[in-house]
Every structure is written in structure tokens, then in C-alpha cells.
Structure 1
């Protein structure tokens, strides 16, 4: 019963769910599958986002995704590839110097070129929208609390970076409301300048304030450590990175010795974890009221990972579904449809979010703004 009370889900669970969707999108160019992933992310965001400022940024990520698709298709038209196909628009080809051999400016626009640009643009746009879904559902400040101690420096920079866009969405709302109250009859360029300058200034100021607050609270600060301990930590991290690189090369290159594949990956992961544990021991920072990890967090994370695993299986067993050609009609099989729809489960499994303006009954009276 306690898992259904309004509470904020662990931010790592939302990011694992979103990364699973993003992994599924990166493994396919099927436009139907990509649209389905976007729809799944949209439904879950609408069902489980809170009324915090960062939750309003999802619409901006969708707009950015649409812009990516338009730009990708426009580049296909501008830098066309001389190849056969069904010509839709016969544009004149502009001559280029000899050093630009292999690049064609304009020229005939074929249906195959447009579809190839559309599929590539949709895949990149879906990745951006999945990241936007995680950013709209997870509190970035609480995410920093879950970062391993060895990654506080990197985590601080990442949190400041990912909060700029949500802060931008909140700044747009507040500046628009303030300017609507002031009125004004300036021209179109003047209105745009009066709108953009305060929005960018406010978003940057709030992100810098967040960075200053984290620095004041000791994020990324470390205690005293001997020189030998630093050398051991650096050697473990470097050896783990080298082991992972060699192991991934062995997995991707089928002609490489098998001893360079999975064993080197396991060895690299073990060394990297040992290095992170050694580096985290030097960070002197206590954790106040850590976020709980309960069964809804596990279910949400597993749903996202299941979507990614299904896409990986389809890419190997049914490549004609994962990567349809531009000369055929894309289709979705039942496993692809059901595997992607697993991503909708967090809309039901995750507890409802805490709303700042919610009214909760406490005893015989209802107290506004109080959460349980």
C-alpha cells in the first residue's frame, strides 16, 4: 500500500528506463518502431511527470526532435548522392571544385534519398526525446545524490548541463507571463529580443546558482590521500579502461582471439569497479535521507531494459524488421510490438508523483500543500 502513495521515484530508475528506450531506438531504423517508442515515452511522461519546473521541458525536446528530422532531410536534399531511384524533384546540380570530389550539391531528389534521411533523422530525434523523457521525470538534483562518490566531479558538471534545458523551459513560462502583464507594442524583432535575452539570462543564472549551491555543500571535494593511494587508484582505472577497450574490440571483431573478448571485458569491469571504489573512498561526504529503492524502481528499470533487449534480439533475428530498406514498406511483427509496449508499464507500476499544490487529508482535516 505504501508503494502507491504519492512519492518521487528514484531518478536512476527513470534513467535506466529511458536508456532502454534509447537503446532500442539506436538499434533500428524502422519508422513505425521509432514512432512507437516516442509514443511510449510520451504516454509515460504525461502519466507520471510532476509539476516541478523540469517536468515542463519534454515539449521542448519534442520540438528539437522535429527540427532534427527537418534538418536531416534538408541536408539530404542539399547534398544529394548521385544514385539511381525514383526522381521526385529534378533540381539543377551545381558544380564543385575538384577537391570536393564525391560531394554533390543539389541535383535530382529521389524518393530513396528522402526516406533514408527521414529514417536517420527519426532515429536521432527518438534518442533526444528519450533523454528528454528522463529529464522530465527524474529530478536532476536528486540524481546527483545517487552518483557514486568517485564521480561527484563529473556528476556535478553533468547535472548543471542537463538542468539548463529544464530551467530554460521554466524561464520561458515565467518571462512570457511577466511580459503579458506588462504589455507592449514593439515590433516583431523587438518582441523577440525582449523575450530571448531575459530567458537566456535567467536560465544561465539559475544553473550557475545550482553550481554554486553544490560547491557550497561540498560536492566533489575530497579529503587527504597519500600519493601512493592516488597512483593505485589511477592505475586501476587506466587498466580497467584498457581492458574494456580490448574486450569490446574482441567482441566486435570476429577474427580476433576469443581470449580478448568476454574475459577481457570482465577483467576490465572488475578493475574499473575497484578503481571507482578506491577513488570514492577519498570523498568525505555524508548522505542525508537517501532515496529508497523499492519494487516499483526495479519494475520500471526492468521494463526499459526489456525494451532494449527486445530490440537487440530483433536486430539479430529479424533484420528486415529492424532495418527495412527504403524500397519496401516497413512492418512491425508481434514481438516487436509487444516488446516496445512493455515500456508503457511504468505508467501504471510507478507510484503517482508528489504534486506541490496537492491537498492531503491528515486526520479529520485536509491540509493544503502537505504530502505524506
Structure 2
């Protein structure tokens, strides 16, 4: 039978070739689907730094709302992107624990507005400064609430970064000087996303089998497999990278290696000292200059260390205008809140003794709203496009 006959045999009764049942799905490259993962981390860290400059619960709630809106609008449909809810639950747990500890062990803030008086347990002399029970004042509860809300906002900002930045793309974007520690970085960055994905998978499997997935029993029966599975997947990924030559270095002169190590170590120490100075009131004079000098030294060390890496990147993520806008919005929020804290500390840190109702300062609130910029300058998350099956002509 010739080719023409075979072609005729494959034709449908209507004389046309049958269309395939489905067409292959297409998904755009991740670099075109969202901003650079490093930009998302810088944006989230900017919001976190802004949260450290205030204890005003209204501003902190606005920061949390801004991060939640951006995550809702730009979070991709991926297992690692489901970690935001876990961070929110962790933040709520931190808030509740801090308030419970304040009620049970008291507060160092003196107060006159007593809410309730609990039975106080006498303690020995060596436990002076600690009490169990006693008077619970409104001033102490307000101080604990303000501090706990600030910590909760920090945790939620970190959760936003985990939900928006692809850990694999972030690892691929690391500078060459950090390739030697890439295996440890892989385990650290992929453990939390894999943990959240395994929790959803195991809970769904238990529900399908009719077994409880909530309560103490469900947590105990799911917790150990989740921890083991997340760690095994992270270690397997690290082993696969090591087997493919991840961290392979080229020969460079000894002087360059020593200069790279000195610059990197000095820069990291400067970044730590400068960050401490920026985040504390006592280091306001030296914090920013030391931080900038440390960043410059660390970047110089990373640039020299990159000469040791002969690797190339396939379709690398580009730091484009969108990345600058995303990172710049977070930096602008942090800078403006720092200026507001210096100019009007009473508005950003409301007092608790005497207890006054917090008010929402207008221009710091407008500065926080700059954090919404990534929701408008970045594209919507990519979705898989599938062609519906076509009906064969009769």
C-alpha cells in the first residue's frame, strides 16, 4: 500500500484528518511572568524594616494589609507559594502567646488601670522581678500588644517574600562567589516551601482515606512524615546539584582569593553592625554610614569572587525596570518610615503610660501605601493554557 492509500485510511469519514484530542500546554518563561525574585525579597525586607520603626498598631495593620494585597494579586499557583498562610498563622500564634505571657507573668510597664486581678503565687527571693498572677493592667496589655504586632508584621513580611519569590530562581540568581555554599542555601530555601506543600498533600490524602487531619491526633500523625519528606526533598535537590558540578571553581591567583575573603568578611561584619545601628535608637549616628560601607565592601568581594565561577546560566533572570520599581517601593517605604520616626516619634510610637489611643498619621500612612506598587507594575501570574478537545466532524 502506497503512502497515498495510508493517508486515506487515516482520514475521518468526512474526508478530513482528525484533530488531536488536546494540544500541548504552554507556559511562558518564569522570567517573563514575574519580577526578579531578588526584587521581591528586597521589597519584603523594606516593609519589614519599616515595621521595626513603629509600634503604632494602625500603621502595622496597614503594612500587613499592603503585603496581603500584593501577595493575593501576584502570588503564582505553585506549591512553594502556599507558605503565606502558614506565616500568618505563626504571626497570630506569636501575638496570642505574648498576650498570655503578659497576663500570667505580668509586665514591666507600670499601670494604674487594672482590668482583672489574678491570684498571685508567691515566689522565692531568687526569683525577684518575676511574678505569677497579680494585677493585669491595660497599660501592660497595650505595650505587649504593640510589641507583638510589630513582630507579627515582620513574620508576615517574610512570608510574603517566600510566597512571591521562586526559591529555585532566587538560587540561580546568586552571585558566583556564593556558589560554594549553594548546597546549604538550597536546603535552607526549599525546606519551608516543601514543608508547606507536604502538609497540604498529606492532609488531603488523610481526608480521602477518612482519617482525621485536624486536632492533636492529626498533627502528631502528619508532623513527622512532613518533616522527613521536606528534608529528604531538599537534600535530594542539593545532592543532584552537587552531582552536576554545582560550585565548580576556576583557578585564580592567591592574592585575589585573599582579597575576596577579606572584602567579603569585612563587608558582612559592616552590614551586621550597620543594621544593628539602623534598627536601634542608640546607633542612629553611625548605623547608616557603616551599613553603606559594609554593603560596598561585600559587593566588591562578591564581584571578585564571581571570577572563580566558570558557570553559565541558561536564560538568566534579568534585573529590569520592573525589578527596580518593586525593590524601590520597599526601600522607599523603609526610608520614609525612618524619617517619620525621627521627626514625629510620638505618632509612630504611641505611649502606654499614660495610655492614649493611637492615631493614624497621614503622610506615614501614604508612605506605606507605596508598597502597593508591585501589584500594578508586575504582570499577573502565568496560568497554564490548554486547548479544549475539538469535536471530530461527522
Fold agreement, TM-score > 0.5: yes
Shift of 1:161: 1.8
Match of 1:353 in 2: 381
Match of 2:300 in 1: 274
CA offsets 1:81-106 (integer angstroms, 9 cap, x no match): 36332111111332223332222232
Match of 1:152 in 2: 179
| Range 292-301 or range 183-192, more displaced | 183-192
Report if aligned partners of 2:36, 2:323 keep a CA contact under 8 Å in 1: yes
> SS in structure 2 opposite 1:281?
helix
Report if aligned partners of 2:117, 2:133 keep a CA contact under 8 Å in 1: no
Partner Cα separation in structure 2 for residue 272 and residue 189 of structure 1: 47
1:341 aligns with 2:369: yes
Shift of 1:189: 5.7
Match of 1:183 in 2: 210
Partner Cα separation in structure 1 for residue 163 and residue 244 of structure 2: 25
1:140 aligns with 2:167: yes
> SS in structure 1 opposite 2:76?
coil
Partner Cα separation in structure 2 for residue 262 and residue 308 of structure 1: 13
1:87 aligns with 2:135: no
Aligned CA distance change for structure 1 residues 153 and 110 (closer, same or farther; 3 Å): farther
Shift of 1:268: 4.6
> SS in structure 2 opposite 1:285?
coil
Report if aligned partners of 1:81, 1:104 keep a CA contact under 8 Å in 2: no
Partner Cα separation in structure 2 for residue 301 and residue 216 of structure 1: 34
1:46 aligns with 2:72: yes
Partner Cα separation in structure 1 for residue 283 and residue 39 of structure 2: 38
Partner Cα separation in structure 2 for residue 261 and residue 122 of structure 1: 25
Report if aligned partners of 1:240, 1:272 keep a CA contact under 8 Å in 2: yes
Shift of 1:80: 1.2
Match of 2:313 in 1: 287
Partner Cα separation in structure 2 for residue 170 and residue 307 of structure 1: 32
Shift of 1:168: 1.7
Gaps of 5+ in 2: 1-27, 390-394
Shift of 1:312: 0.8
Report if aligned partners of 1:78, 1:106 keep a CA contact under 8 Å in 2: yes
Partner Cα separation in structure 2 for residue 50 and residue 245 of structure 1: 33
Report if aligned partners of 2:182, 2:246 keep a CA contact under 8 Å in 1: no
Partner Cα separation in structure 1 for residue 363 and residue 214 of structure 2: 55
Match of 1:362 in 2: none
Partner Cα separation in structure 1 for residue 357 and residue 297 of structure 2: 47
2:92 to 43, 46, 66: 66
CA offsets 1:225-246 (integer angstroms, 9 cap, x no match): 4544433333333444566678
Partner Cα separation in structure 2 for residue 121 and residue 276 of structure 1: 36
> SS in structure 2 opposite 1:50?
coil
CA offsets 1:28-51 (integer angstroms, 9 cap, x no match): 100001111111111111101111
Shift of 1:186: 11
1:106 to 120, 124, 133: 133
Gaps of 5+ in 1: 360-364, 368-372
Partner Cα separation in structure 2 for residue 354 and residue 248 of structure 1: 36
Match of 2:356 in 1: 328
Partner Cα separation in structure 1 for residue 203 and residue 101 of structure 2: 33
Select the structure of larger CA radius of gyration.
Answer: 2
CA offsets 1:199-234 (integer angstroms, 9 cap, x no match): 222222222222223323333343344544433333
1:11 to 34, 37, 47: 37
Match of 1:201 in 2: 228
Partner Cα separation in structure 1 for residue 162 and residue 98 of structure 2: 24
2:326 to 291, 296, 300: 300
Partner Cα separation in structure 2 for residue 194 and residue 254 of structure 1: 48
CA offsets 1:115-152 (integer angstroms, 9 cap, x no match): 11111111111101001001101101100111111123
Report if aligned partners of 1:144, 1:156 keep a CA contact under 8 Å in 2: no
| Range 225-234 or range 117-126, more displaced | 225-234
Aligned CA distance change for structure 1 residues 153 and 63 (closer, same or farther; 3 Å): farther
Task: Note the aligned Cα RMSD (angstroms).
Answer: 3.2
Report if aligned partners of 2:120, 2:131 keep a CA contact under 8 Å in 1: yes
